Amino acid sequence: MATTAQLFEEPFDADEYIERLAWRTPGGGSKGGAEAFDPKRLLEEFENHIEELKQLDEKIQRRVEKLEHQCHREAKEFAHKVQDLQRSNQVAFQHFQELDEHISYVATKVCHLGDQLEGVNTPRQRAVEAQRLMTYFNEFLDGDLRSDVFNNPEKIKEAADIIQKLHLIAQELPFDRFADVKAKIASKYHDLERQLIQEFTAAQRRGEIGRMREVAAVLLHFKGYAHCVDVYIKQCQEGAYLRNDVFEDTAVLCQRVNKQVGEVFSSPETVMAKLIQNIFENKLQAHVREKLDETRHSDVEQYLKNLYDLYTRTTALATKLTEFNLGSDKHTFLSKLIKSIFSSYLESYIDMEREYLRTRGAMILQRYYDSKNHQKRPIGTGSIQELKERIRQATNLPLGPIIDTHGETFLSPELVVNLLQETRHAFERCNRLSDPSDLPKNAFSIFLLLVDHLCVEHIDYALEIGLSAIPSSDAKNANLYFLDVVQQANSIFHLFDKQFNDQLMPLISSSPKLAECLHKKKEVIEQMEVKLDTGIDKSVTINCMVGQMKHILATEQKKTDFRPEDENNVMIQYTTACSKVCAYVSRQVEHVRKSMDGKNVDTVLMELGVRFHRLIHEHLQQYSYSSMGGMLAICDVAEYRRCAKDFRVPLVLQLFDTLHALCNLLVVAPDNLKQVCSGEQLTNLDRNLLHAFVQLRLDYRSARLGRHFS
C-alpha cells in the first residue's frame, strides 16, 4: 500500500488503518484460514511500512520548514510595505492640511471681496431706486402721471409697491411746501388700495385662491390690509347660516375657512381668530340674546333651560374650535369670548335658580295637597309639643285631637320624583353655569331648598300627621297607618340619599361646604329618626297593636272556652280568640317588615314579640282550666308559638316555648306534677310563678296540689 499524506486526512482511525494494512498483506489477515497466516510476512510488512512512514514524516517536515521560512520572509516584506504606506499617508495628510489652510485663506478673501462688492452695489441700488422714485415723484409734482405702471391695470402690483414707498416718503415732507403733491400721492394710495380690495373681493367670489394670495401679499403693507381681512370675513359668512342651527353652521364654516386662510394669508392664525371673534360678537351674541331675553321675565323655567342649553352648546363649539390655530393662548381667547356673551346672564343665574326652585317646589307641594283636598295644618314644635307627647305616652291619654287621615299617608312618590327631578336639573345647571369658585356655595344653596321642600315640608309633615293619627291603645278597630308612613318615608329618603351622593357630592367633595352638607344631612336624618322613634320605638304604635290584641281577646275569649260543659265533645283545635289574634299579629309582622329595613325591623319585632308574650301570659292567668280546657289552652299557646316564629327573633320564640311548658302544668297528672316542675324548661323559673299556674286548675283543691309547693 503506497504511503501518502492523503491517507492521514481527518477523520483518521488508526485501528482501521492497521486492519486495512494487515488485510492487504498476503498471509497477514484471516483470509485463507489459520494455515495461511504468516506472522513473519506480516512483521516484515509492518517494518517496511514504518520505514515508509518515517520517510514521509521527514518529507513533510522539510516542506513545513520551507513554508515557515517563506512565511517569515513575506511577513517582513509586508511590514516594510505598511511602513512605506504610513510614511506616504503622513505626507498626504500634511499636504491636505496645507491645502485646507490655503482654501480657507482664499475663502476669506472671497468673502471680503463680496462684502466690498455688496457695499458698493447696495448704495448703487438704493441710488437707482431713489432715482426711480424721484422720477415718479416728479410726475406727481407735475400732475401728469405718464408712466405706464400707473396707467396699465395689469401692473397694479408694481404700482402698489411704488405708491406705498412714495406714501411713506411723503409723510416726511413739510406740509406747507408739498401739500399738493402729498394730497395727490395720498389720493393715488387710497385709489390703489381700493382697487386691490375690489380685486381681492372679486377673486374670492370666483374662488381664485392664487390671485387672492397675491393681492393679500401686496395689501399686507397697506393700511387697508385690516379692511381686506374684514371684507374676507364678511364674505365668508354670506350664505353660511341657512339652517336653524347656528352652532353647527359655525363649526362647518370655520372648518371650511380654516383650510383656505392658510393658502391666502401670511398669518392665518390672526385671520382665523378675527373670524371667530366676529362670529361670537355678532351671530352668537344676537342668537343668545334673542333666545334668552324673550323668556327671562315671562317663563323662568324655559329661560333656565335655554341658558343651560345655549351655554353648553357654546362651550362645546369652543372646544371644537381649539383644533384650529388661533395663536398661542387660544383657550383664554375663547373663554373671554364666551364670557362676553354670557356674563350678564351668569351673574344673576343662581338667584333666578333659587327663586325658581322655591316657587316650583311650593307649587308642586300645594298642587299635591289640593288634589287630596287637604289644608296643611300648622305643626307645633318645641318643648311643649314634646311634653305633650311624653304625657300621652305615660298616661295613654290623648292631649289633643287625634287626626283621622282615612288611611292617607300624605306621602307621594310622584311628588318626590318631581322635586328630585327639578333638583337634579338644577344641580346640572349649577355645575355648568357657576363659576368654579362659587360652585360649592351655589350647590349647597340648592341642597338647602331640596331639604326644605322634600324633608321638612313633605316627609316631616307626613310624619307629624302620622303621629297625630296614631290611635290610643284602647281604641277599637284602629288602623295603624303610621307604618305605611314609615315605609314610604324610608323609600323616599333612600331616593334623597342617592341624589345626595350622585348629584351633590361631586360638586362639593373638595370644598369646605362638604362638612356643612354632611352636617345638614345628619341633622335631617336625626329629626326623622326622632319622629320614627316616637311613633314606633317608644311603643306608641306597639301600644296600639297590643291594645288591639287585648280588645280581640276581651271580646272573643269566653270563660267557658277553658271549662267546656261537655268535656268529651270538644271538636276545635284552638279557640276563636286565638285564631283572630294570630291572624292580626301575622298581618302586623308583615306590615312591619314591609315598612322598615335593617336593624329597625329586629328592634321593633323584638319589642312587639315581648309585649305579645306578656299579653298572652297575663291573659291566660285570668281563667280556670278543666282538664280538657287545659289541653285547649296548650293548643292555643302552640298556635301562638307558631305565630311567634314569624318574628324570627330567638328571644320571642324562647319565651313562648317557656309559656307552652307552663301550660303543661294545667293538664299533667297530680302525681307527675313535681317531676314536670323540675323539667329542663321550668327548673329555672320562680316557684311562685309555677304555683300560680297550678292554682288555675279546677282540681287544685280537690287534688291537694298546693302540697307540692309547700
240: Cα separation from own chain's centroid: 37
Whether 344 shows a pLDDT value over 80: the answer reads yes
pLDDT of 380:
52
DSSP 327-389: -TTHHHHHHHHHHHHHHHHHHTHHHHHHHHHHHHHHHHHHHHHHHTT-PPPPPP-SHHHHHHH
The domains of the chain are located at: 40-127, 147-237, 239-357, 375-380+406-535, 543-707
pLDDT of residue 310: 92
The Cα–Cα gap between 462 and 457 comes to 8
DSSP class of 621 = T
CATH class (in words) of the domain with range 239-357: mainly alpha
Element housing 320 (H / E): helix 300-321
CA angle 686, 689, 691 (to 5 degrees): 110
Cβ-count burial 184-215 (b if 16+ within 10 Å, e if not): bbeebbeebbeebbebbbebbeeeeeebbebb
Quote the CA–CA distance of 524 and 175 in Å, as a whole number.
85
The backbone region for 398, taken as left when phi is positive above 0, alpha when psi lies in -120 to 50, beta otherwise, is beta
DSSP 483-545: HHHHHHHHHHHHHHHHHIIIIIHHHHTTSTHHHHHHHHHHHHHHHHHHHHIIIIITSHHHHHH
Residues 684 and 236: their CA atoms lie apart, in Å, by 101
Place of cell 516484515: 44
Q: Does residue 11 have a cis bond before it (omega within 30 degrees)?
A: yes
Q: Looking at residues 278-285, what average pLDDT do you find?
A: 88
Phi (first) and psi of residue 625, to 5 degrees: -125, 130
Has residue 389 got a pLDDT over 90? no
> What local confidence, expressed as pLDDT, does residue 266 receive?
80
By mean pLDDT, which of 81-95, 186-200, 385-399, 546-560 is the weakest? Answer: 385-399
Q: Which of 456, 455, 441 is nearest to 516 (CA)?
A: 441
pLDDT band at 442 (very low <50, low <70, confident <90, very high): very high
Confidence at 574, pLDDT banded by 50, 70, 90: confident
Please give the residue that has the higher pLDDT: either 560 or 472: 560
Q: What is the pLDDT of residue 269?
A: 87
Res 398 pLDDT > 80: no
Instruction: Give the SS3 label for residue 174.
Output: coil
Give the largest Cα separation in the chain, rounded. 160
B/e letters for 75-91, b = 16+ CB within 10 Å, e = fewer, are: eeeeeeeeeeeeeeeee
In this predicted structure, what is the pLDDT of residue 423? Answer: 93
Are the CB atoms for 588 and 608 separated by under 8 Å? Answer: yes
Among 177-191, 284-298, 407-421, which is the least confidently predicted range? 177-191
Which percentage of the chain shows pLDDT scores above 70? 78
pLDDT reading at 260 higher than 60: yes
Going by C-beta distance under 8 Å and a sequence separation of 6 or more, which residues neighbour residue 53?
Answer: 3
Q: How confident is the model at residue 390 (pLDDT cuts 50, 70, 90)?
A: very low
Band of pLDDT at residue 396, cut at 50, 70 and 90: very low
pLDDT at 167: 61
User: Of 172, 168, 171, 166, nearest to 141 (Cα)?
Assistant: 166
Q: What is the pLDDT of residue 387?
A: 39
Which pLDDT band, with edges at 50, 70 and 90, does 295 fall under? confident
Q: What is the pLDDT of residue 383?
A: 40
CB 203 within 8 A of CB 235: no
Q: Which among 462, 453, 532, 547 has a CA at the least distance from the CA of 496?
A: 453
Q: Over the stretch 453-500, which tens digit does the pLDDT of each residue have?
A: 888 888 888 888 777 766 655 555 555 667 777 778 888 888 888 998
> Three-class SS of residue 571?
coil
Average pLDDT, the chain: 80
Q: Is 625 helix (H, G, I), strand (E, B) or coil?
A: strand
State pLDDT tens for residues 41-93.
Answer: 778 888 888 888 888 888 889 999 999 999 999 999 999 999 999 999 999 99
pLDDT value of residue 72: 92
Whether residue 4 is predicted with pLDDT greater than 70 in this model: the reply is no
Per the structure block, which three cell numbers stand in for 675? 317531676
Cα distances (angstroms) measured from residue 671 to each of 253, 630, 636, 705: 109, 17, 25, 9
pLDDT reading at 426 higher than 90 = yes
3-state secondary structure labels for all residues of 627-644: HHHHHHHHHHHHHHHHHH
- In the block, residue with C-alpha cell 334673542: 290
Looking at residue 536, its pLDDT comes to 64
**521 phi/psi in degrees, rounded to 5:** -65, -45
Rg (CA), the chain: 58
677: cell is 316542675
How far lies 577's CA from each of 548, 550, 620, 633, in Å? 12, 10, 12, 11
SS3 state of residue 91: helix
What Å distances lie between residue 608 and 145, 220, 638, CA to CA?
A: 117, 94, 18
Region 543-707: CATH code: 1.20.58.1970
List, for residues 641-668, the tens digit of each pLDDT value. 999 999 888 999 999 999 998 888 888 8
Q: Helix, strand or coil for residue 697?
A: strand
Angle at 82 between CA 78 and CA 87, to 5 degrees: 150
- Give the model's pLDDT for residue 582: 94
Q: Which residue has the higher pLDDT, 581 or 11?
A: 581
